[in-house]
């Protein structure tokens, strides 16, 4: 039988695999506060549905708790936590950020989670670690309104902070590489028109993204996640990702349009709401439409973002089975 690794590699190469790959991921609130519990929950999810990629999804705060932020689980349906304490208040606070080593407690905890997963999962199952962009981490340190205000009024101070964050992220990716991850899932949240214009992102985002991502260049299974609506899809030209994931059912470009814009592999096709609110027939319908839009080539079936924690088990099963027949009923 073809392995998950072989299926994804065939897909990335542009050849048509035995069936369309499927990769869904979710948060594990409460469990994500302990490395062992997060590993166990991730393994249970994978053992239940047998996805072609295991994306490890810690709370976003894992990357910034070492700088003193606090967060709390408040029941968000996507499984994310809310920040209850920020550490950047004045412009000078950006320059006070110090480098976090991979051995710092929260980063080391996530590395331990990866070690547990790599030890337990079959070696032919790709494992990718979620990485939040420096701007995304900066937002979590300051709050988005404060970040944008400082960025526009005190750009040099913010840039010093972003440099520290980017270096910290780079060293974490290097440490994760030594554990044997196959790639990173890189989440960019500010490359959307309602937050900043593309020239601002090229100034405050791209250089620090490139710095942080330097260790991933020769990994084979990297996914860029462009979060939100009206995203700056042309930014793909600034990076070296094999796969791109975005809210294709909610914003430009559609899967069919994206095939003309990006020569790599597309991941998406399912709405989050479909997995929560609709039935299995609707899941199969969306999956079939996505496969037809891409001709089943360079395409991985997934959602535009995380699977909500309220998604129906039967709908997730329907998604995994829909690819067995090329999206046909």
* Banded pLDDT at 37 (limits 50, 70, 90): very high
Q: Name which of 201, 180, 178 is nearest 190 in CA terms.
A: 201
Residues 6+ apart with CB under 8 A from 241: 186, 222, 223, 224, 264
Mean pLDDT along residues 120-133: 98
pLDDT grade for 329, boundaries at 50, 70 and 90? very low
Query: Residue 73 burial (CB < 10 Å; 0-12/13-18/19+)?
Result: middle
pLDDT surpasses 90 at 324: no
Q: In sequence order, what DSSP letters do the residues of 10-64 get, joined into one string?
A: HHHHTS--SS--B------TTGGGSHHHHHHHHHHHHHHH--SSEEE---GGGGT
pLDDT tens sequence across 55-114: 999 999 999 999 999 999 999 999 999 999 999 999 999 999 999 999 999 999 999 999
**Percent of the chain predicted with pLDDT > 90:** 98
* Whether the predicted pLDDT of 190 surpasses 60: yes
Report residue 242 as tokens. Answer: 């094999």
Structure confidence by residue, pLDDT tens digits, 239-275: 999 999 999 999 999 999 999 999 999 999 999 999 9
Closest CA to 187 of 306, 67, 33: 306
Mean pLDDT for the chain?
97
Q: Are 176 and 95 in contact (CB under 8 A)?
A: no
pLDDT value of position 327: 53
Is CATH 3.20.20.210 the right assignment for the domain spanning 4-325? yes
Report domain extents, the chain.
4-325
């Amino acid at each position: 039988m073809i392995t998950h690794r072989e299926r994804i590699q065939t897909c990335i190469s542009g050849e048509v695999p035995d069936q369309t790959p499927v990769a869904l991921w979710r948060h594990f609130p409460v469990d994500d506060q302990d490395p062992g519990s997060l590993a166990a929950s991730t393994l249970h999810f994978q053992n239940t549905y047998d996805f072609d990629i295991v994306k490890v999804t810690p709370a976003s705060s894992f990357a910034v708790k070492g700088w003193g932020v606090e967060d709390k689980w408040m029941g968000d349906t996507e499984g994310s936590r809310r920040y209850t304490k920020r550490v950047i208040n004045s412009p000078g606070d950006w320059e006070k950020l110090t480098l976090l080593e991979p051995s710092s407690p929260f980063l080391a905890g996530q590395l331990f989670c990866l070690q547990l997963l790599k030890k337990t999962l079959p070696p032919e199952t790709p494992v990718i670690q979620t990485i939040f962009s420096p701007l995304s981490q900066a937002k979590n340190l300051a709050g988005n309104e404060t970040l944008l205000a400082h960025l526009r009024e005190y750009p040099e101070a913010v840039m010093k902070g972003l440099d520290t964050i980017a270096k910290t992220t780079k060293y974490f990716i290097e440490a994760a590489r030594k554990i044997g991850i196959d790639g990173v899932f890189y989440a960019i949240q500010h490359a959307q028109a309602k937050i900043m214009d593309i020239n601002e992102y090229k100034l405050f985002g791209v250089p620090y993204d490139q710095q942080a991502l330097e260790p991933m260049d020769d990994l084979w299974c990297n996914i860029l996640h462009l979060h939100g609506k009206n995203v700056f899809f042309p930014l793909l030209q600034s990076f070296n990702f094999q796969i791109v994931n975005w809210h294709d059912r909610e914003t430009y470009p559609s899967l069919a349009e994206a095939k003309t814009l990006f020569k790599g592999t597309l991941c998406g096709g399912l709405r989050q709401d479909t997995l929560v609110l609709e039935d299995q027939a609707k899941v199969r319908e969306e999956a079939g439409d996505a496969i037809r839009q891409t001709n089943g080539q360079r395409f991985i079936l997934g959602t535009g973002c995380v699977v909500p924690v309220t998604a129906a088990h039967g709908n997730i099963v329907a998604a995994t089975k829909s690819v067995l027949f090329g999206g046909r009923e």
